[in-house]
Amino acid sequence: QVQLVESGGGSVQAGGSVRLSCTASGRTFSSYAMGWFRQAPGKEREFVAVISGRGSLTYYADFVKGRFTISRDNAKNTVSLQMNSLKPEDTAVYYCAADSTVGRLRAGGDVGSWGQGTQVTVSS
């Protein structure tokens, strides 16, 4: 497992942008698929985006397609989520996650490693 620490959350008005980052410990970062999930108050945690170990594959939840972009820098052990055109319904705690395969992250559930989460609040 890897240790994950998110940063970059905050408050923004609708239509604005926020960039989240997640830094991982360890020397095998490129062997992990990395993903972002979110959990809004009173709702279950849901999949947002995932990127493969070398960054060649990305998948997004339908509700963020065209607005969010996931990327990674394996030299810096970081994965980022650029969020544009934010809506109030994007308000949630965003979690970084790591697992061995893209498929396991897309499925959610018993993911290998989670970060502590970072709050994003979008006001109308």
27-80 confidence digits (pLDDT tens): 799 999 999 999 999 999 999 999 999 999 999 999 998 999 999 999 999 999
Predicted confidence band of residue 108 (pLDDT cuts 50, 70, 90): confident
Which residues, including other chains, have CB under 8 Å from residue 48's CB and lie 6 or more apart?
A: 35, 36, 37, 38, 60, 61, 64, 68, 81, 94
- Six-digit token string for 17: 């942008």
Question: Do residues 115 and 95 make contact, with C-beta atoms less than 8 angstroms apart?
Answer: yes
Average pLDDT, whole number, for the chain? 95
Residue 104: phi, psi to the nearest 5? -65, -35
Residue 30: phi, psi to the nearest 5? -70, -10
